[in-house]
Amino acid sequence: MPTYTLLPGKIGSGGYSTVQRCTRDTDGAQFACKLLSKAHNKPGRIERELVAFRRASVSPHVAKLIDTTEDAHTHYLVQELCAGGTLHHAAVLLAPALHPCDERTAARVVRQVLLGLTDVQAAGVIHGDVKAANVLLTQRAPTAAALASDACGIKLCDFGASTLFDGVDADELVYVDELVGTPYFMAPEALAHNLTPKSDTWGVGCLCFQLLRRGRAPFEDADQPWQPRVRHIWQGVLHGEPAYRDEPGEPELSPAALDFMHLCLRKLAPARPSVRECLEHPWLRLDDDSPDAKSG
């Protein structure tokens, strides 16, 4: 098995993991390496992530798993390095000041994510944590125009919150023994320890909202945004409605964009479209110049 050398500095981090660059000792090729602490991750959870990642890696829309290794304290997941970093950094953190994401660009991004999720679910995997921080760009995208370019590939990553299913039934409900995912983007059923393939549809709705509403999540703690309380976020997820209103400086959303998000963010999972059905929505017709699919 090849050996690798970790490079200093983190390029990402999660609850119980970090990501660093690494080089393969035999040829100097660079990759990303996710470090999973054995002390803070249950063995079953690590194994589930490995199985899910291996299954999902067949998709061209997923950052490929290259190799795995471990020592006494850590599992190492060596994976494809995407030069553009995360969509969260390119389109969410920078967007408010530099380049708000227009609808045409957002639709292209969402379509690529849906293609990836379609492949992932066909392989029997529910991603479970769809968000801008778990979407990678193959090239740097300093502007919205660059992000919209076909030259900038979009790939899913991070299967730490994933679970496995039969790969057929879009309404299959899978019990999970712990709450997984990110509070802002967890579907209502996930709060009851259940995941379904349509939980990923909810995540796509949240991602779309992030892109079109300058990084805001559909459900936030409006009374205490500087120190959000998880229970308030989850109250919104279970009982509230997304704040679709336009904030100062935000363009009015098209009826098609609003309809797409409404469908994805339905509270009851069976009422949501599957990720494959989402691809048929009129808003995702990138070359459609009709008023209902305007670019913003």
pLDDT in tens, 93-137: 555 554 557 888 899 999 999 999 999 999 999 999 999 999 999
The answer on pLDDT for 294 being more than 60 is: no
Query: Are residues 61 and 91 both part of a single domain?
Result: no
Q: Residue 88: CB partners within 8 Å, gap ≥ 6? A: 131, 132, 133, 135
Q: Look at strands 135-137 and 154-156 and give their pairing.
A: antiparallel
Contact partners, residue 254, CB within 8 Å, separation at least 6 = 103, 283, 291, 292, 293, 294, 296
Q: Are residues 103 and 189 in the same domain?
A: yes
Give the whole-angstrom CA distance, residue 253 versus residue 203.
19
Q: What angle do CA 79, 81, 87 make, to 5 degrees?
A: 110
Its pTM stands at: 0.89
The answer to whether residues 146 and 213 belong to one domain is yes
* CATH number of the domain enclosing 264: 1.10.510.10
Q: 75 and 128 share a domain?
A: no
Query: Could you say which of 79, 99, 114 is where a domain stops?
Result: 79
Asked if residue 215 and residue 154 are part of one domain, the reply reads yes
- Indicate if the pLDDT at residue 291 is higher than 50: no
- Are residues 111 and 179 both part of a single domain? yes
For residues 43 and 184, state if they share a domain.
no
Q: Considering its fold, how many domains does the chain have in total?
A: 2
pLDDT tens for 25-56 read 999 999 999 999 988 888 888 999 999 999 99
98 and 145, same domain (yes or no)? yes
Judge whether residue 198 has pLDDT over 50: yes
Last residue of a domain, one of 22, 51, 79: 79
Say if residue 119 is in the same domain as residue 144.
yes
Q: Looking at residue 290, what is its pLDDT? A: 41
Query: Are residues 127 and 226 both part of a single domain?
Result: yes
Least Cα distance to 134 among 15, 293, 254 occurs for 15
Give the end of a domain, one of 41, 59, 79: 79
Burial zone of 230 (CB within 10 Å; 0-12 exposed, 13-18 middle, 19+ buried): exposed
If asked whether residues 166 and 288 sit together in one domain, one would say yes
Same domain, 59 and 103: no
Domain span holding position 239 = 87-293
Q: Which pLDDT belongs to residue 286? A: 54
Q: What is the CATH number of the domain that holds 45?
A: 3.30.200.20
pLDDT in tens, 142-183: 666 667 677 788 999 999 999 999 877 888 889 888 888 889
